[in-house]
Amino acid sequence: MPLARGQSDDAQPRKEGPMNALDKLPWQRQDLPKFIVMLSTLGLLEFTRSAFFWVYMPFSSKELGLSLSLVGLAWVVHSLTEALSRGIGGFLVQRIGFGAVGVLSGLVGLLALSGTILNPNGWFLLVSMLLWGVSISGLQPGYLSFSSRIAVPGREGRAIAYAQFLVIPWIGLGWVLGTFFIRNLPESTSLLLFAALGLVTLLGLASLGVREPLPKQSLNIRQLMQVLIIVPTAFAQLFLQNLFNLVILKFTLTHLKLTEWQLYLAMGLAAAVVFLGAGILGRLPDRKGVWLPLISSLGALAAIFLLIAQQPSYPYFLLLCLLGGIAFATFVPSWNALLVRLLPTENRAAIWGSLMVVEGLGAATGPAVGGFLWDWLGPRGPFWGGAAVCGLLIAFYGFVYWRLRRGLSVEAS
């Protein structure tokens, strides 16, 4: 039965049966195997990076004759190269497919890690990490673009939000499993890394048939304007997430007088609410349109930042973390739904990669700005700054919505 205009797929009656649980997922059932293979490819790559940079190299750098400062520099080169190459990487995925890029990233990773471990050299480490960063830069935009293309109509925001969330555990697993190996089976740790990259290569081969739609023409002015609408939030969302990195421990432990476990409980509560709430609150932008959930969640985040700046008591702080998790669980699917509505399908991977470059700039500048605001305005400064950024986004998107209501031809309301 075709959907009426504006009607969510969630509103349609479902056939009961043993596979009904799969119908609740935000992705179309027939494409789930491809999605799982792509998730595993990206996840294993993140697993390897986490285990290599944060576990293997700190414990083995002295034995390899490499200083920790050099290892840190290699990570900076690698991560910046990946972030700044995502536009090119997205274009590459669009041309040769996710699978080919997965194979390339696995093989370059095997070369980089085997050379570093078996014949360590500082210059080789830096150059190989740079090349590895370029080779993997297309995987995430390709993965998110595919997730948006196979989303059940009316569930696009939730599909991308959960696609992003599902990658995060792999990073933690790399740290945990890498730590277990380095402490109990140190000689086998390198084999763990090689095995993971070998699986990345094999899974890439399994995804060779996954291709992005090739653009038939370049972006026109209307499409370009739609992309420009997204840029401020692309920068701001990771800017806000990283604004407090340098100051949050100092603020909570010395000014709110929290213990470490109280802080961990608050952070765990917020993270759980975000993960669980995205599936429920993500229905708002998918069913009712993106503008009201997007703007209202930004307003809620601004208010929460201002209230945290008042140095609340711990129960009040827990409540604010809970409300912040709800606001963020609404913001992320709303932002993702806006992306799906505005990004042209045929250029999606390349544009998504370019937007990730903007996001990377936000992530890179956030901590520096947070530290500056702390020095300039005191402990409340970063939270005032976060509220100001949310306010500017509300003003910008309020203006965009007003223009849309006046007839600007963008299908995003």
CA atoms within 13 A on the CB side of 389: 25
Residue 11: is its pLDDT beyond 50?
Answer: no
Summarize the confidence of residues 107-115 as an average pLDDT.
Answer: 96
Q: Give dist(CA 318, CA 331) in Å, integer.
A: 20
- Comparing 23-32, 132-141, 220-229, 257-266, the range with the smallest average pLDDT is 220-229
Residue 221: is its pLDDT beyond 60?
Answer: yes
Which has more confidence, 112 or 214? 112
Closest C-alpha among 182, 181, 178, 145 to residue 163: 145
Instruction: Tell me the β-bridge partners of 151.
Output: 27
Residue 3: is its pLDDT beyond 50?
Answer: no
CATH 1.20.1250.20 for domain 221-405, yes or no, is yes
Q: Give dist(CA 341, CA 335) in Å, integer.
A: 10
All structural domains of the chain with their residue ranges: 31-206, 221-405
Q: Give dist(CA 209, CA 204) in Å, integer.
A: 10
Residue 292: is its pLDDT beyond 80?
Answer: yes
What sign results for the dihedral spanned by CA atoms 35, 41, 42, 47?
Answer: positive
CATH superfamily of 31-206: MFS general substrate transporter like domains (1.20.1250.20)
User: What's the CA angle centered on 189, arms 184 and 191, to 5 degrees?
Assistant: 135
Query: Same fold for the domain at 31-206 and the one at 221-405?
Result: yes
Which has more confidence, 274 or 213? 274
Percent above pLDDT 70 for the chain: 89
Summarize the confidence of residues 349-376 as an average pLDDT.
Answer: 84
- Contact call for residues 44 and 203 (beta carbons, < 8 A): yes
Q: How far is CA 194 from CA 104, 115, 169, 178, 182, in A?
A: 15, 12, 20, 12, 14
Summarize the confidence of residues 49-54 as an average pLDDT.
Answer: 90
Residue 5 phi, psi dihedral angles, 5° rounding: -60, 130
pLDDT at residue number 15 = 45
pLDDT at residue number 105 = 96
Instruction: Tell me the β-bridge partners of 27.
Output: 151
Summarize the confidence of residues 174-187 as an average pLDDT.
Answer: 90
Count CB atoms within 10 A of the CB of residue 12: 14
The label of the residue with tokens 């309301």 reads: 413
Residue 64 phi, psi dihedral angles, 5° rounding: -85, -10
Summarize the confidence of residues 339-354 as an average pLDDT.
Answer: 76
Summarize the confidence of residues 41-45 as an average pLDDT.
Answer: 96
pLDDT at residue number 21 = 66
The 3-state DSSP class for residue 97 equals coil
Q: How confident is the model at residue 214 (pLDDT cuts 50, 70, 90)?
A: low
pLDDT at residue number 111 = 97
Of the chain, the end-to-end C-alpha distance in Å amounts to 24
Q: What is the mean pLDDT of the chain?
A: 85
Residue 382: is its pLDDT beyond 60?
Answer: yes
pLDDT at residue number 12 = 46
AA identity, residue 34: K
Residue 66 DSSP label: -
Q: How confident is the model at residue 233 (pLDDT cuts 50, 70, 90)?
A: confident
Summarize the confidence of residues 138-165 as an average pLDDT.
Answer: 87
AA identity, residue 241: Q
Summarize the confidence of residues 86-109 as an average pLDDT.
Answer: 91
Closest C-alpha among 236, 257, 266 to residue 395: 236
Residue 406: is its pLDDT beyond 80?
Answer: no
| Range with top average pLDDT, 25-34, 44-53, 143-152, 333-342 | 44-53
Residue 70 phi, psi dihedral angles, 5° rounding: -70, -40
- Comparing 82-86, 105-109, 344-348, 351-355, the range with the smallest average pLDDT is 344-348
